[in-house]
């Protein structure tokens, strides 16, 4: 476990980075700006990260862990059917998005293509792995094709819902409805 001071400093750096995303795209954000907003020295930043890309990579790992932990907690609470397991997966993705809205609302293809790509690749790999491990529900098409449709389509839907001004409850309801309809569609082969 990391020292509390290190955890606090890294959180300060992440928060400074996220606050800068509100003002400018990732490509234009500099380490100097992150340090100024976070009120830390460049030396402090470089004690933890080689560059802003490594900072983003660590953030992605933390977000991935947050979603994984959330999923395992949900699955421990109740015995679920294969459909329930998939729905819990979507709940965790939505929770992650909502809990980190200040970051994800700026990780779109039009505003920050690097962030969008980096995160969508992680979600894609996780979804492929999930589909391959949970074989009770077979995909009609190649697992990677199905994962691409689910990840890109649903992630874009969530982003667009927020850009339309929908609140968290409405976004969650719509995303869960669409996801369940996709799971029950002919994309999947039910036993």
Stretch 47-66: mean pLDDT: 96
Stretch 48-54: mean pLDDT: 97
**Which has more pLDDT, 49 or 153?**
49
2, 22: one domain: yes
**Which has more pLDDT, 132 or 177?**
177
What is the average pLDDT value for the chain, to the nearest integer?
91
Query: Which pLDDT score is estimated for 1?
Result: 67
38, 109: one domain: no
Query: Which pLDDT score is estimated for 77?
Result: 82
Q: Output the domain CATH number for residue 85.
A: 1.10.357.10
Range name among 29-33, 95-99, 130-134, 180-184 with the lowest pLDDT average = 130-134
Query: Which pLDDT score is estimated for 109?
Result: 87
105, 179: one domain: yes
Q: Answer yes or no: is pLDDT of 78 > 80.
A: no
Q: Answer yes or no: is pLDDT of 44 > 90.
A: yes
Query: Which pLDDT score is estimated for 172?
Result: 96
Which ranges in 31-166 belong to alpha helices (H)? 31-38, 42-48, 52-77, 82-99, 101-104, 113-133, 143-163
45, 129: one domain: no
113, 147: one domain: yes
Q: d(Cα 7, Cα 122) in Å, to the nearest integer?
A: 23
Q: Answer yes or no: is pLDDT of 30 > 70.
A: yes
Q: Output the domain CATH number for residue 6.
A: 1.10.10.60
DSSP 140: S
State whether residue 79 is helix, strand or coil: coil
Total domains in the chain come to 2
40, 64: one domain: no
Q: d(Cα 13, Cα 31) in Å, to the nearest integer?
A: 10
C-alpha distances (whole Å) from 172 to each of 62, 92, 94, 150, 188 are 22, 11, 7, 15, 22
Range of the domain at 122: 56-189
Stretch 157-180: mean pLDDT: 94
126, 72: one domain: yes
């Amino acid at each position: 476990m990391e020292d509390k001071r290190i955890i606090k400093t890294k959180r300060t750096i992440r928060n400074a980075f996220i606050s800068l995303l509100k003002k400018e795209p990732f490509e234009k954000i500099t380490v100097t700006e992150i340090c100024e907003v976070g009120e830390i020295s460049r030396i402090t930043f470089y004690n933890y990260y080689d560059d802003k890309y490594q900072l983003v990579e660590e953030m992605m790992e933390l977000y991935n862990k947050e979603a994984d932990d959330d999923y395992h907690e949900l699955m421990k609470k109740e015995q679920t059917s294969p459909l329930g397991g998939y729905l819990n997966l979507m709940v965790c993705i939505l929770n992650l998005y909502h809990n980190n809205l200040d970051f994800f609302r700026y990780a779109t293809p039009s505003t920050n293509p690097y962030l969008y790509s980096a995160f969508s690749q992680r979600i894609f790999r996780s979804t492929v792995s999930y589909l391959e491990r949970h074989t009770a529900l077979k995909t009609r098409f190649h697992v990677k094709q199905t994962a691409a449709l689910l990840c890109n389509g649903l992630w874009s839907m969530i982003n667009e819902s927020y850009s339309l001004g929908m609140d968290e409850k409405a976004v969650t309801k719509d995303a869960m409805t669409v996801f369940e309809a996709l799971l029950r569609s002919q994309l999947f082969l039910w036993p």
